[in-house]
Amino acid sequence: MSDPNRFQIMPAPQKSTRIQQKNRAAILEAALDVFSAQGFRGTTIDQIAAAANLSKPNLLYYFPSKEAIHATLLAGLLDTWLAPLRTMNPKGDPLEEILGYVRRKLQMSRDYPRESRLFAHEVVQGAPRIYHALSTDLKSLVDEKTTLIETWIKQEKLAPVHPYHLLFSIWSLTQHYADFDVQIRAVMDAEDPFTNAPDFIDTLYRRLLTPT
Amino acid sequence: MSDPNRFQIMPAPQKSTRIQQKNRAAILEAALDVFSAQGFRGTTIDQIAAAANLSKPNLLYYFPSKEAIHATLLAGLLDTWLAPLRTMNPKGDPLEEILGYVRRKLQMSRDYPRESRLFAHEVVQGAPRIYHALSTDLKSLVDEKTTLIETWIKQEKLAPVHPYHLLFSIWSLTQHYADFDVQIRAVMDAEDPFTNAPDFIDTLYRRLLTPT
DNA sequence: GTCTATAGCCTGATAGAC
DNA sequence: GTCTATCAGGCTATAGAC
């Protein structure tokens, strides 16, 4: 345990390590499914175990507790979630950089709706497990990028807007398609929401941000 | 029970009816507090009872079950929630009608954040208890208003946009300030989000919708 | 109408055989 | 590593006294 890499030079345990990794991955995949749909308290270990094709005690052989599974999922999430913002390039064309960020963020909602809902559950409940990361990692990244946006606005390469609220609007617009998916589909019956969403959102930010 | 109004012509029970109404109201108020913060499964009857200053059995004297309290809250919610959209007037000025709707909706997020979060919990989990209302009441209202918006666009009183996604964007932008309040405050430290949000959102929809 | 006490179920976690 | 069996605690809901 203190040195996970030691397995890599020992043939026999290597096989069991592969099984371990496979089972751990199956548990996390199943847990993401159930946690994102029902929240932490709404999820039972039995449900996760069933979805992962394991017995409950066997699942608890890989993770010490339900809390630990949830924490593992959340820990990996924030980095993935912030990647699209991190790649916004100070040297690129301002409008295209923002539109590119919006496009990547919407694509994440489409590709990873469960991760989006897991995050939504956590934040709506007051972010009890992730607040610290929000007020440090997220905050410092946002401070950096809003400063950049303010620079672009001063250079008149973007129309003037409040940079923080610009970012909030991007988060809310893109994540809404994952988090409120059921509501959207209840209203749109046949049509796939993602067919027209990219164009709509692209148009929205072009009209908002194109300098006059 | 079969005729609740019979109490109104009998002096003695009238007083207990007032007590009943007061306790029922206190329970619903307390339940809104806890449900909106922790979700249905994350909430215990004990927590609601404590917040309402009642014992648990006494609370269950007024409502038959935890589920019944939750259902009562949800049943009253959708109407309140849709009121701002209902009052959008076909005979008014198109841009001002939309901006007025946006303003009212944002004000609701500010005044009733708990209701917004209760709704968010329900929808993120797949709307198990409210899906029917979404696909009937909500859908018919949205169909009506999107038709109106399309008319306005044909008359060139609004810039062309996808009317469904326009409504989705309004919901997401306004509700985000209630549902993700913790995240927003973690990033903005001192400043109150609602100070600049109305101006930002107003600007956004003016630039998006003003016809050229 | 309100309380104390408790029944009965569900669930997280463990024991111990294999 | 995986299973069956089970414990212990917490929870919804009810019983019954006042």
Which parts of chain B sit beneath pLDDT 50?
1-14
pLDDT at A15: 53
Mapped onto helix, strand or coil, the DSSP state of residue A166 is helix
Tell me the C-alpha to C-alpha distance, in Å, between residue B149 and each of A82, A204, B138, B152, B163.
35, 16, 16, 5, 6
pTM, whole model, 2 decimals? 0.93
What pLDDT is attached to residue A4? 40
Cα B33-B39-B44 angle, rounded to 5 deg: 75
The predicted structure's pLDDT at residue B18: 86
Mean pLDDT across chain B: 93
With a CB cutoff of 8 Å and minimum separation 6, the contacts of B210 are B95, B159
Assigned architecture for domain B77-209: Orthogonal Bundle (1.10)
Are residues A78 and A123 in contact, defined by beta-carbon separation less than 8 angstroms? no
What does each of the 212 residues of chain A score in pLDDT, given as a tens digit?
A: 344 434 344 444 455 688 889 999 999 999 999 999 999 999 999 999 999 999 999 999 999 999 999 999 999 999 999 999 999 999 999 999 999 999 999 999 999 999 999 999 999 999 999 999 999 999 999 999 999 999 999 999 999 999 999 999 999 999 999 999 999 999 998 899 999 999 999 999 999 999 98
Fold for the domain defined by A4-68: Arc Repressor Mutant, subunit A (1.10.10)
Give the HSE-up count for residue A146: Cα atoms under 13 Å, Cβ half-sphere: 17
Measure in Å the smallest separation between the Cα of B77 and chain A Cα atoms.
15
* Set of chain A residues whose Cβ sits within 8 Å of the Cβ of B134: 182-183, 186-187
B186 to chain A: which residues are within 8 Å by CB?
A: 127, 131, 134-135, 138-139
CA dihedral A167, A170, A172, A175 (to 10 degrees): -130
pLDDT digits (tens, 9 = 90+) for B120-148: 999 999 999 999 999 999 999 999 999 99
In window 53-82 of B, residues with CB < 7 A from nucleic chain D are 56-57, 60, 64-67
Cα distance between residue B102 and residue B177, in whole Å: 13
State which amino acid sits at residue B2: S
Of B117, B139, B208, which is closest to A124 when you measure between CB atoms?
A: B117
- Structure tokens of B45? 């009857």
Between CA B51 and C1' C4 the distance (Å) reads 20
Q: Do the beta carbons of residue A80 and residue A135 sit within 8 Å?
A: no
Helix, strand or coil, per DSSP, at residue A19: helix
Q: How many of the other CB atoms lie within 10 Å of CB of B126?
A: 14
Residue with tokens 């019956």: A189
Of A41, A161, A201, the CB nearest to B41: A41
Q: What is the pLDDT of residue A190?
A: 84
Question: CA B173 to CA B193: how far, in whole Å?
Answer: 13
Residues sharing a CB contact under 8 Å with residue B40, sequence separation 6 or more, in sequence order: A42, B66, B70, B121
Domain ranges of chain B: 4-68, 77-209
- Predicted confidence at residue A126, as pLDDT, reads 98
pLDDT score, position A189: 80
B93 conformational bin, left if phi > 0, alpha if psi -120 to 50, beta if neither: beta
Give the integer Cα–Cα distance in Å for A75 and A130: 8
